[in-house]
């Protein structure tokens, strides 16, 4: 059992170092100095999202079929290479290649990390602590984000490109941490005859996972909910820097602002399990919806150098959403499909962003930021309001956790 407990310790370290975004406070400035405008940036990120859509579920099957450890090791190597390509590139095409390579690394990581933790906790009989431990890990990650943002802002004042080389250090360190992971999921020798037959082909696992999500209305709802929040957060991420400049915040404060965002997300990650328990199953979801929507009209109507503080609402969602939603999805999903099902949420979010990114880029290029924010708010009210209406109508039987997902849901 001790080898599995070491997974928990290593997971916290891995989550902390795998993403160290030193470049984030100045990345838009870096793109612009290399000839990209707002539309180009959204197109670049849209293509990145399409790459992840194509790669997300197949790489989730790699985690379920070959093991989460293998998937995490492959992800760190690929992300390291992608960031080096980025750091040495000078054109849209070079950045595009880097984004596709980085997309492969991110897809290999997505879902596999949370699934490894959940499998480990289940092995040692502590699966009821998933939200708390995941929350602590994500909190530590956000603190690391904050520190890297501050350092990135300082370094970026001298060289934008240097921040990209610093960012490459994260996946390199994470590789050596992941090397010590022990696989905790169902092994081929442990599987039932039905599970062994399912594992014979990737198509079998993929088809089984899709059928499960399609039939289980509660899991399907959470997958879509996660996708909408993920996509809308990405819309906003690339206008945070332009908005702070528009509102009059000095450029040297950008790194500090992003550090504040990450520290607040860290706090919300740490208390996400309490937030969920305190507000209850439906209340927590409604609160998350409100935190995603409300900052948009406030940012549009109240424009001052400190208006960036409204973004903290989105950072609260960022800190909590993975913990709250992943726990609910994982509770209803069998071990050999967990990484694939979690990947579906990320896949749908990327697809939604990819489809909408040209329109968002056009709006950002053609209209003022307040107008863009109001339009995004209206769209989110329509989407999240519709989801809430569907959630209320889900039958109670779907909220019962069953021992086997092969039982009729």
pLDDT at 156: 85
For the cut 80, the answer to whether the pLDDT of residue 373 exceeds it is: yes
pTM of the prediction?
A: 0.73
CA 117 to chain centre: 16
Does the pLDDT value for residue 187 go beyond 60?
A: no
What pLDDT is recorded for position 186?
59
Look up residue 53 and give its two tokens: 């859509």
Judge whether residue 36 has pLDDT over 70. Answer: yes
pLDDT, tens digit (0-9, with 9 covering 90-100), for 57-87? 677 667 777 788 888 999 999 999 999 999 9
Kindly report, residue by residue over 106-165, the tens digit of the pLDDT.
Answer: 888 877 888 888 888 887 777 777 878 887 887 788 788 888 988 988 888 888 999 999
What is the pLDDT at residue 195?
47
Taking every pair of C-alpha atoms in the chain, what is the biggest distance, in angstroms?
Answer: 64
The architecture (CATH level 2) of 2-185+199-399 comes to Up-down Bundle (1.20)
Which pLDDT score, from 0 to 100, does residue 215 have?
82
32 in the Ramachandran plot: left (φ > 0), alpha (ψ -120 to 50) or beta? alpha
Query: What is the reported pLDDT for 65?
Result: 76
Average pLDDT, the chain: 84
Query: Which structure tokens are listed for 286?
Result: 């409604």
Closest among 18, 15, 26, 17 to 256, alpha carbons compared? 26
Could you tell me which of 73, 68, 75, 70 has the C-alpha nearest to residue 102?
75
Query: Quick one: pLDDT at residue 250?
Result: 82
pLDDT at 297 over 90: yes
Cα gap 256→38, rounded to integer Å: 23
pLDDT tens, position by position, 226-285 = 999 988 998 888 889 889 988 998 877 888 998 898 788 878 888 888 888 888 888 999
Between helix 169-178 and helix 68-88 the angle, nearest 10°, is 160
What pLDDT, on a 0 to 100 scale, did the predictor assign at position 79?
94
Task: Give the separation between CA 409 and CA 399, rounded to whole angstroms.
Answer: 10
Kindly report the backbone phi and psi dihedral angles of residue 24, in degrees, each rounded to the nearest multiple of 5, phi listed first. -60, -45
pLDDT of residue 350 exceeding 50, the answer is yes
pLDDT (0 to 100) of residue 408: 40
pLDDT value at residue 377 = 93
Q: How confident is the model at residue 405 (pLDDT cuts 50, 70, 90)?
A: very low
């Amino acid at each position: 059992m001790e080898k599995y407990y070491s997974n928990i310790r290593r997971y916290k370290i891995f989550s902390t170092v795998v993403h160290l975004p030193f470049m984030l406070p100045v990345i838009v400035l870096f793109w612009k100095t290399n000839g990209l405008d707002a539309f180009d940036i959204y197109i670049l990120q849209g293509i990145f999202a399409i790459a992840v859509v194509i790669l997300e579920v197949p790489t989730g099957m790699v985690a379920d079929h070959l093991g989460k450890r293998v998937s995490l090791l492959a992800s760190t190597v690929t992300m390291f290479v992608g960031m080096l390509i980025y750091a040495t590139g000078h054109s849209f095409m070079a950045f595009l290649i880097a984004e596709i390579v980085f997309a492969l690394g991110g897809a290999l990581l997505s879902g596999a990390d949370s699934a490894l933790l959940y499998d480990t906790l289940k092995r040692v009989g502590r699966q009821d602590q998933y939200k708390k431990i995941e929350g602590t890990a994500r909190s530590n990650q956000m603190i690391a984000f904050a520190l890297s943002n501050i350092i990135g802002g300082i370094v970026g004042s001298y060289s934008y490109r240097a921040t990209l080389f610093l960012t490459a250090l994260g996946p390199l360190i994470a590789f050596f941490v992941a090397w010590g992971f022990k696989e905790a999921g169902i092994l081929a020798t442990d599987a039932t005859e039905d599970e062994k037959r399912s594992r014979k082909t990737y198509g079998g696992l993929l088809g089984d996972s899709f059928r499960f999500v399609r039939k289980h209305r509660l899991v399907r709802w959470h997958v879509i909910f996660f996708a909408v929040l993920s996509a809308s957060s990405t819309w906003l991420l690339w206008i945070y820097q332009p908005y702070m400049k528009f509102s009059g915040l000095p450029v040297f404060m950008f790194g500090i602002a992003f550090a504040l965002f990450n520290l607040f997300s860290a706090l919300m990650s740490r208390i996400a399990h309490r937030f969920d328990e305190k507000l209850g199953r439906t209340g927590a979801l409604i609160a998350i919806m409100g935190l995603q929507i409300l900052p948009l009209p406030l940012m549009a109507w109240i424009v001052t150098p400190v208006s960036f503080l409204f973004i903290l609402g989105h950072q609260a969602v960022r800190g909590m959403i993975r913990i709250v939603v992943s726990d609910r999805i994982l509770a209803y999903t069998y071990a050999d499909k967990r990484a694939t099902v979690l990947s579906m949420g990320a896949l749908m979010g990327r697809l939604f962003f990819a489809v909408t990114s040209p329109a968002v880029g056009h709006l950002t290029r053609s209209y003022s930021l307040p107008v863009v924010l109001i339009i995004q708010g209206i769209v989110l009210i329509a989407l999240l309001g519709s989801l809430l209406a569907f959630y209320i109508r889900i039958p109670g039987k779907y909220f019962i956790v069953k021992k086997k997902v092969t039982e009729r849901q």
